[in-house]
Structure 1
């Protein structure tokens, strides 16, 4: 099942890599507006991601898994914010000023609610599959971008790619896949296909998340003005 998930995810890696957000980062000219839109949304997304880790901490009993979830919460709070600061610097703005008015846009709203829905399934495989594309897609896209040789040393986004391709951001992946493998063994084949579908849906959500920043996605005025 794990190999099938990885194989099926590669089409999303290729599409995200070719989309405007990543290509503009590779060229060093992603707009300030796109950067700020992304940061406002991702600040909320990562907060919710850590909240889900906290709930998994309470649900999964073994100590090793609990330590893993704690380490991931620490990584998001104390290390991944560094990647946000890289983008803020590229946009020429203070990070905390950018995210002061955090925004819950339609695509990020859909992604977050997708994860929360899977959190309340009976088997942890569902939520693990929903969360896994976040570190997995970032690793794959960042490594692909760096391997392209197209990112100049002076590119203000180079450090962002290096962060997500590096061990600090990717060391969680073996444990993620091990946990998913362990809990999915308890499922019948029909449910394993559902878990694969959940994983692939999150891969598409990752693509949408980047694209919404380029598109400057907003709720319609009828929704905003309440």
Structure 2
């Protein structure tokens, strides 16, 4: 079994939990609370900004020009393409997307996730660690979306169904490229290194679950303040 396939196999139980959690179930049934939706949009806008920065940190670690070109394209997709998915949620709450995200949120779970990715980008020379920290994001969205569009419980009359339609295909290329890079960059790694990279991947999958959960519950810092990026 390829290393990338092993990672995805071990992550599936976590993704199954994400699918059953209230955020995705609210999306599925078309009754996600409005405030939770807006909280997600605000948190995800901050997250995607940092995700683009981490792509930029990966570029110097790439030896192949085609890989560099792909990373640059992904930065552009985050800037332009993924906003399409956000616009779907904005239409659901019947508010302007740009006005929604003017209010910034930086919840503890999102903070932890972003710092997890930055740690692996800065502290690990092998880019496999950074990719392992990033790859669960598109993979989780791909799996959840593809499962949802086949689910009899999907409310096809809700505009939220279009969010699932978007992610059911838009992540395909990125998942494939991340898989290829993961397999190539771990080819000569020791078993201990591979286990560390696997833990990194699984931790990010848990972070994905926490991100949806924090949005549903509108997570705040316990001391009552707000930490801004």
2:159 matched to 1:181? no
Q: Who is 1:142 aligned against?
A: 145
What SS does structure 1 have at the residue aligned with 2:153? coil
Using the TM superposition, give the Cα deviation of residue 154 of structure 1 relative to its aligned residue in structure 2, in angstroms: 1.2
2:51 matched to 1:74? no
Q: Who is 1:49 aligned against?
A: 51
Using the TM superposition, give the Cα deviation of residue 225 of structure 1 relative to its aligned residue in structure 2, in angstroms: 9.1
What SS does structure 2 have at the residue aligned with 1:21? helix
After the TM superposition, which residues 102-181 of structure 1 pair with which residues of structure 2 at under 5 Å, given as runs? 102-120=104-122, 121-166=124-169, 168-181=170-183
If the length of structure 2 is used for normalisation, what is the TM-score? Answer: 0.95
Paired with 2:226 and 2:97, the residues of 1 have a C-alpha distance of 24
After the TM superposition, which residues 23-62 of structure 1 pair with which residues of structure 2 at under 5 Å, given as runs? 23-62=25-64
RMSD: 1.4
Paired with 1:5 and 1:74, the residues of 2 have a C-alpha distance of 27
Using the TM superposition, give the Cα deviation of residue 220 of structure 1 relative to its aligned residue in structure 2, in angstroms: 2.5
Q: Who is 2:210 aligned against?
A: 208
Higher mean displacement: 4-13 or 198-207: 4-13
Which residue of the other structure, out of 83, 86, 110, is the alignment partner of 2:85? 83
Using the TM superposition, give the Cα deviation of residue 61 of structure 1 relative to its aligned residue in structure 2, in angstroms: 2.7
If the length of structure 1 is used for normalisation, what is the TM-score? Answer: 0.96
Using the TM superposition, give the Cα deviation of residue 124 of structure 1 relative to its aligned residue in structure 2, in angstroms: 0.7
Higher mean displacement: 99-108 or 56-65: 56-65
Paired with 2:98 and 2:4, the residues of 1 have a C-alpha distance of 38
Residues 61-104 of structure 1, C-alpha deviations (whole Å, 9 max, x = no match): 32011011011111111110100010011011110111002211
Using the TM superposition, give the Cα deviation of residue 186 of structure 1 relative to its aligned residue in structure 2, in angstroms: 2.7
Gaps spanning 5+ residues in structure 1: where? Answer: none
Residues 148-172 of structure 1, C-alpha deviations (whole Å, 9 max, x = no match): 1222321120000000001x33211
Gaps spanning 5+ residues in structure 2: where? Answer: none
> Runs of 4 or more off by more than 2 Å in structure 1?
220-226
